[in-house]
Structure 1
Amino acid sequence: MRHLMVWILGVMLFACDNEERTKGDDLYSEGNFSEAIKAYDEYIKLHPSHVKSLYNRGRSYEELGKFQKAFDDFTAVLDIDKKNTSALLSLSKFYYRDHKFDKAKYYGESAVKLNDNLPSAHFWLGRAQHQLGLFSEALTSYNNAINLDRELGEAYLYRGAIKMQGDRKKSACSDFKSAKDLGVKEAEVAQRKYCK
């Protein structure tokens, strides 16, 4: 009887634990970021090393424009799991947004080294390389991103921009068209400006 009670208690605790985590995840997936943060706060008080909750809370902060709090959560994730590619990519985007392109490049490269099958890792690495004037490297990164995900419209747009700088107008315009067809609004402007 005692073993049965211990087992039931264990199942109940697991169910409560799972429900708490699911509440934050559900709110996050619904786009209710403020409420998701509150749910994650409660869960993280009890489970301060729960990587998914820390990361999703950081993403929630990011969606609300609270970038420093997002940064704090992403770095906390890396303190726990140095190989977390999601956190590495989020830090690459953070530094890119902050115009610290060397750091954006570092985190993008780190993500690619851990998993070179992530199109977004190649894309953000390419964006940083592009801003640093490393056009050949950026072109390679955009090519890698597109080879992994043919639907990554922004990679076509920025690859087209590099090609345009290199006097490859026909190929650049083809990339702008692909980006436009994939819903990238800036591509339409680029097409009108350069591809008459």
Structure 2
Amino acid sequence: MKNLLYIGIIFLLVGCTDHKKEGSELFESGQYEKALFHFEKVLNLEPRNAMMHYNAARCYEELGSYDEAILHYDKSLESQNDLIISYLGRGRSYYKKDDYKSAVIDFKNTLMIDKNNEDALYYGALSYMKDSIYYKSQDAFTTLLELNPDHYKARFNRGVLYAIQANTLFALSDFSNLIRNKKFLKNAHYNRGIVYQYNNNHDWAVRDFTKAIELGYKNESIFTKRAESYLYLKESELACQDYKKLAAMNPEAAQKYIRENCQGILN
């Protein structure tokens, strides 16, 4: 009888190990539903396994099921209350479901354990930014960039934040830094163009908008904005060519601009 029990325990342990390995491999290959099946098999046998709850939460997060993800992050932290990756994951999930205040709490919890955690600083800054608490967002981005000047996502978003606040000098500095380092090029050129346009520096705005378009940034907004700068520079024909491109994307939006600015120019 003891031998049978021993064999049964060995079988269960081997089964758990197989499910953990299979689940991890499936997750790494992006097969989140299949990975979740294996992680939940382990949780049936080890319901307080903090890492398995974390793994299940990551699957739910990747599948966009944020409430279920948060539930598993909760259980992970109930079993191990200093598990940084679960605070980060739960914070991300709150962020993705637009609950920025709850997200900030988790990122603060992470920073209490690891004050230099770059992910917590970055997502905390984004959460403050989304919640329009700009001074805290700016402080978090700046702290992160002091720790890691090459965190280009933080630099880009701080540039956007500066632009929102009409702090054009610092916005231009961040976007120019990205362009020099060849990071987020089309977005950096587009956003720097907006700042130049705000400063009535339309020649430079046109250059940046054009470069962004060459790099593949082609949407309604960029053709509308470049046309605005062309009109300011009295380049009506070029402006109307942009409105023509806009018309191919959104005829209704373009019609008003064409009617007001392009009579006798476009055939």
Verify same fold: TM over 0.5. yes
- Structure 2 residue 79 is the aligned partner of structure 1 residue 61: no
Structure 1: tracts of 5 or more residues without a match: none
Structure 2: tracts of 5 or more residues without a match: 1-8, 21-41, 43-48, 231-238, 240-267
Kept after mapping to 1: 8 A contact 2:100/2:131: no
Deviation at 1:178, TM superposition (A): 4.6
Tell me the equivalent position of 2:157.
124
Tell me the equivalent position of 1:135.
168
- Structure 2 residue 213 is the aligned partner of structure 1 residue 190: no
Kept after mapping to 1: 8 A contact 2:90/2:106: yes
Structure-2 change in CA distance of 1:58 and 1:191 (3 Å): same
Kept after mapping to 2: 8 A contact 1:126/1:137: yes
Give me the whole-angstrom Cα distance separating, in 2, the residues matched to 1:86 and 1:92. 10
Q: Deviations over 1:130-179 (max 9, x none)?
A: 23443222111112234445445443332111122344323322333454
- Structure 2 residue 110 is the aligned partner of structure 1 residue 77: yes
Tell me the equivalent position of 2:57.
24
Q: Which has the higher contact order (CA 8 A, sep 6+)?
A: 1
Give me the whole-angstrom Cα distance separating, in 2, the residues matched to 1:41 and 1:98. 24
Kept after mapping to 2: 8 A contact 1:126/1:142: yes
With 180-189 and 89-98 compared, the bigger mean Cα shift is at: 180-189
With 157-166 and 80-89 compared, the bigger mean Cα shift is at: 157-166
Q: Figure out how many residues of one structure are paired with residues of the other and give that number.
A: 191
Tell me the equivalent position of 2:39.
none
Give me the whole-angstrom Cα distance separating, in 2, the residues matched to 1:96 and 1:52. 22
Give me the whole-angstrom Cα distance separating, in 2, the residues matched to 1:29 and 1:190. 35
Kept after mapping to 2: 8 A contact 1:145/1:152: yes
Aligned alpha-carbon RMSD (Å): 3.0
- Which residue of 195, 204, 226 maps to 1:171? 204
Give me the whole-angstrom Cα distance separating, in 1, the residues matched to 2:184 and 2:162. 21
- Which residue of 116, 120, 126 maps to 1:87? 120
Tell me the equivalent position of 1:46.
79
2:81 alignment partner, SS class: coil
Tell me the equivalent position of 1:98.
131
2:115 alignment partner, SS class: coil
Deviation at 1:27, TM superposition (A): 1.6
TM-score by length of 1: 0.80
With 166-175 and 119-128 compared, the bigger mean Cα shift is at: 166-175
1:182 alignment partner, SS class: coil
Q: Deviations over 1:43-95 (max 9, x none)?
A: 11112211111111111111112121111111111111111122112222222
1:116 alignment partner, SS class: coil
Deviation at 1:21, TM superposition (A): 2.0
What amino acid is the match of 2:160?
Answer: R
Kept after mapping to 1: 8 A contact 2:163/2:171: yes
TM-score by length of 2: 0.61
Kept after mapping to 2: 8 A contact 1:37/1:57: yes
Structure-2 change in CA distance of 1:153 and 1:92 (3 Å): farther
Structure-2 change in CA distance of 1:146 and 1:41 (3 Å): farther
